[in-house]
């Protein structure tokens, strides 16, 4: 039983390299979502966009903002001749396909929607719907009282209205309410319908505070929060050419792809979270009129290799830190402005850099790309440096110890005020260490290096080293450099009773893998499964990389005498969904 438990672990860690002559699959493109944002700098007036329409001839977007219509030309918004000089407050112009603009005698501020394309062009205000099919506005007699939210035309030409009084359709020159029951005693669409649209299959969709509903051939389908719907404060709906449906809200946009909902919120995706109107063009690109300008989420075909190169360029430009190229988070000094990225040290520089490097090892094993090999080699040197920088100074930990991270001595001294912080933390965590210096200086006095290294840092190191050894390191000298680092770190752990010992001669707060702690100290039971798995993994890596059988013998002792394989049967303490680090 113990062998069965250990075998998958060893296979996962020391998988043999793939043959170099295996054929590579043909590149395949996948649709990626790419966000573009337009504002004042792109020709739009301040104050956001009120309306969004698609050009009847080309399908290109047009927006109404600041009392004027604008069209997009070469990524710049240009005011259209129909609204040159501004729109009179009591009239509203609409451009129709192949015809002169139609002027509707309503204040522009009252207009909630324009659809100038298709067989049934229309304009909707808060209190009336106007047909523009005859080339002039014709009021359709919406009842007095309910506010109109959105209008949509079915494939057979029926006009549907989402209003504060529910969902209606126009039949035989009259308005008829659509009543929908979900079979659970709940009536939908009877009040405050917030959006309506017909998808490319002709299915009716509507949105309310309760959720969204779709009239499918087999009957009505209802979607609520429990079904994955992320938000319900809707401002409208729009259908795309491939069955997808977008929903605008006051807190972002939502895309239904036929199976799942996808939430697009924040400046990563939109100029502003308040989506006032939306439309989807013939290519499937979604356009948004927001309180902060116009946004587009483009569906762009891209191979995984092209996507990877995009992110590699982003990492090189904004993320990598120091000449060693450490990879961790980079905080933005200005919201949504990548050029303000400020990469600094973090507690997990070793872990995140190792994860990045592991990807480069896999990339090189698959593609034999010199760039991937170069990046993987840079990561190895960065992780090796975290071990070497700790040695020779005063104070210094035992040989093999690895630092969390480094920062140049030209930066502010991170030790200032740190002891008081640690003493305060110690009141909350009795095992927390309060000592000085938490950031010793390197022997060459060029670096502060951070001590009290944790188990997740070692997980990163040990995950990366066998991959680099198997897939990237080719010469005897390259492989020996890997052996040295792995041997020194693993021997350190064994020599100090399966703990990572710091420059103060004591184990770090989280670098504890000892049986007396994991199996016989109640304060460590939560870490028992993960740390048992970690130390067995470390020993497996060391045995594979160095070829020394002693590491397998030590691993067997932990399994046979201390039950570490049994510990793996409960690998992680779970505290329920949302509890973090699941």
3-state SS, one letter per residue, for 548-567: CCHHHHHHHHHHHHHCHHHH
Query: For position 11, what pLDDT does the model report?
Result: 38
The tokens for 190 are 């009877």
Span 31-37, mean pLDDT? 96
Residue 5 has pLDDT above 80, yes or no: no
> What share of the chain in percent tops pLDDT 90?
84
User: Is the pLDDT confidence value at 2 over 50?
Assistant: no
Residue 327: pLDDT over 50: yes
- Digit-coded pLDDT (tens) for 368-377: 999 999 999 9
Contact call for residues 342 and 333 (beta carbons, < 8 A): yes
Of all residues in the chain, what percent are helix, strand and coil, respectively (each to 5)? 30, 25, 40
Three-state DSSP class for residue 389: coil
The mean pLDDT of 320-333, rounded to a whole number, is 97
Average pLDDT, the chain: 93
pLDDT bucket at 10, cuts 50 / 70 / 90: very low
Distance CA 551, CA 553 (A): 5
Q: What is the mean pLDDT of residues 571-577?
A: 83
- Over residues 341-368, the mean pLDDT reads 97
Q: What pLDDT is stored for residue 87 in this prediction?
A: 52
- Give the residue from 352, 371, 351 showing the smallest Cα distance to 360: 371
Confidence grade of residue 135 (pLDDT, cut at 50, 70, 90): confident
Rounded to whole angstroms, how far apart are CA atoms 448 and 433? 19
What are the backbone angles phi and psi of residue 125, rounded to the nearest 5°?
-105, -175
pLDDT confidence of residue 329 = 94
pLDDT category of residue 3 using cuts at 50, 70 and 90: very low
Q: How far apart are CA 32 and CA 357, in angstroms?
A: 24
| Confidence (pLDDT) at 116 | 79
**Residue bearing the bigger pLDDT, 373 or 184:** 373
Domain coordinates of the chain in residue numbers?
49-141, 144-263, 305-512
Q: Binning pLDDT at 50, 70 and 90, where does residue 154 land?
A: very high
Q: For residue 214, what are the CA distances in angstroms to 64, 186, 391, 445?
A: 30, 15, 66, 67
Distance CA 120, CA 132 (A): 7
**Nearest of 387, 384, 404, 398 to residue 482 by alpha carbon:** 384
pLDDT number for residue 7: 37
φ/ψ (deg, to 5) at 541? -65, -45
Q: pTM value? A: 0.85
User: DSSP letter at 318?
Assistant: I
- The pLDDT tens digits of the residues spanning 35-59 come to 999 999 999 999 999 999 998 778 8
Neighbours of 436 (CB within 10 A): 12
Q: Which residue carries 């680099």 as its tokens?
A: 468
Q: What's the confidence (pLDDT) of residue 527?
A: 96
Q: What confidence score (pLDDT) does residue 13 get? A: 46
Give the DSSP letter string of 185-239: S-EESSS---EEEE-TT--EEEEETTEEEEEETTEEEEE-GGGT-----EEEEEE
**HSE-CB of 452 using CA atoms within 13 angstroms:** 13
How many other C-beta atoms can be found within 10 angstroms of the C-beta atom of residue 46? 10
pLDDT for the residue 508? 99
- CATH for 144-263, among 3.40.50.300, 3.30.70.20, 3.30.379.10, 2.130.10.10? 2.130.10.10
**CA end-to-end distance (rounded Å), the chain:** 26
**In this predicted structure, what is the pLDDT of residue 97?**
65
Q: What is the pLDDT, as a whole number, of residue 581? A: 65
pLDDT at 448 over 60: yes
At residue 272, the pLDDT reads 98
Give yes or no for residue 464 having a pLDDT over 70. yes
Q: Answer whether residue 19 shows pLDDT above 60.
A: no
Average pLDDT over residues 396-404: 99
Residue 515 confidence (pLDDT) above 90 = yes
SS3 category, 326: strand
Per-residue pLDDT, averaged over 390-403, amounts to: 98
pLDDT digits (tens, 9 = 90+) for 81-108: 866 555 557 789 887 766 778 889 999 9
């Amino acid at each position: 039983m113990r062998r069965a438990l250990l075998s998958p672990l060893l296979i996962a860690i020391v998988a043999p390299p793939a043959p170099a002559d295996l054929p590579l699959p043909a590149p395949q493109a996948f649709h990626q979502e790419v966000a573009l944002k337009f504002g004042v700098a792109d020709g739009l007036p301040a104050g956001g966009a009120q309306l969004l329409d698609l050009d009847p001839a080309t399908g290109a977007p047009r927006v109404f903002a600041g009392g004027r219509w604008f069209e997009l030309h070469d990524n710049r918004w240009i005011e259209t001749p129909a609204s040159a000089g501004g729109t009179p407050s009591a009239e509203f112009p609409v451009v129709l396909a192949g015809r002169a603009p139609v002027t509707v005698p309503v204040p522009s501020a009252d207009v909630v929607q324009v659809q100038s394309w298709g067989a049934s062009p229309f304009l909707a205000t808060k209190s009336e719907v106007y047909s523009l099919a005859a080339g002039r506005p014709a009021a359709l007699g919406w009842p007095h009282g309910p506010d109109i939210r959105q209008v949509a035309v079915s494939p057979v030409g029926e006009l549907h209205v989402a209003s504060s009084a529910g969902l209606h359709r126009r039949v035989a020159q009259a308005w008829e309410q659509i009543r929908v029951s979900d079979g659970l005693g709940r009536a939908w669409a009877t009040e405050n319908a917030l959006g309506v649209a017909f998808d490319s299959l002709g299915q009716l969709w509507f949105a309310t505070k309760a959720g969204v509903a779709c009239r499918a051939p087999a009957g009505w389908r209802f979607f609520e929060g429990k079904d994955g719907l992320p938000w319900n404060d809707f401002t409208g709906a729009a259908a795309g050419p491939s069955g997808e449906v977008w929903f605008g809200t006051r807190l972002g946009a939502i895309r239904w792809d036929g199976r799942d909902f996808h939430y697009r919120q924040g400046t990563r995706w939109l100029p502003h979270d308040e989506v006032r109107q939306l439309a989807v063009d013939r290519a499937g690109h979604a356009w948004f009129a927001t309180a902060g300008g116009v946004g587009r989420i483009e569906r762009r075909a891209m191979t995984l290799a092209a996507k990877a190169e995009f992110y590699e360029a982003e990492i090189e430009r904004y993320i990598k830190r120091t000449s060693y190229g450490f990879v961790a988070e980079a905080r933005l000094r200005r919201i949504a402005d990548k050029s303000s990225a400020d990469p600094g040290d973090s507690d997990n520089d070793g872990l995140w850099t190792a994860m990045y490097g592991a990807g480069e090892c896999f990339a090189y094993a698959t593609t034999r790309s010199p760039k991937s090999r170069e990046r993987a080699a840079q990561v190895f040197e960065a992780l090796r440096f975290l071990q070497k920088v700790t040695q020779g100074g005063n104070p210094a930990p035992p040989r093999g110890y690895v630092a969390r991270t480094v920062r140049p001595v030209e930066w502010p001294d991170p030790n200032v005020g740190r002891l008081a912080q640690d003493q305060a933390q110690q009141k909350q965590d009795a095992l927390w260490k309060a000592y000085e210096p938490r950031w010793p200086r390197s022997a060459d006095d060029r670096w502060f290096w951070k001590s009290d290294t944790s188990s997740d840092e070692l997980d990163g190191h040990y995950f990366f080293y066998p991959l680099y050894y198997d897939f990237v390191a080719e010469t005897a000298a390259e492989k020996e450099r890997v052996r040295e680092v792995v041997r020194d770190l693993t021997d350190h752990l064994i020599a100090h009773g399966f703990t990572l010992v710091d420059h103060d001669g004591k184990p770090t707060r989280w670098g504890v893998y000892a049986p007396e702690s994991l199996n016989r100290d109640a304060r460590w039971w939560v870490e028992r499964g993960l740390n048992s798995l970690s130390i067995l993994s470390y020993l497996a890596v060391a045995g594979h990389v160095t070829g020394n059988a002693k590491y397998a013998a030590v691993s067997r002792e932990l399994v046979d005498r201390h039950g570490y394989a049994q510990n793996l049967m409960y690998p992680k303490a779970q505290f329920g969904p949302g509890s973090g680090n699941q």
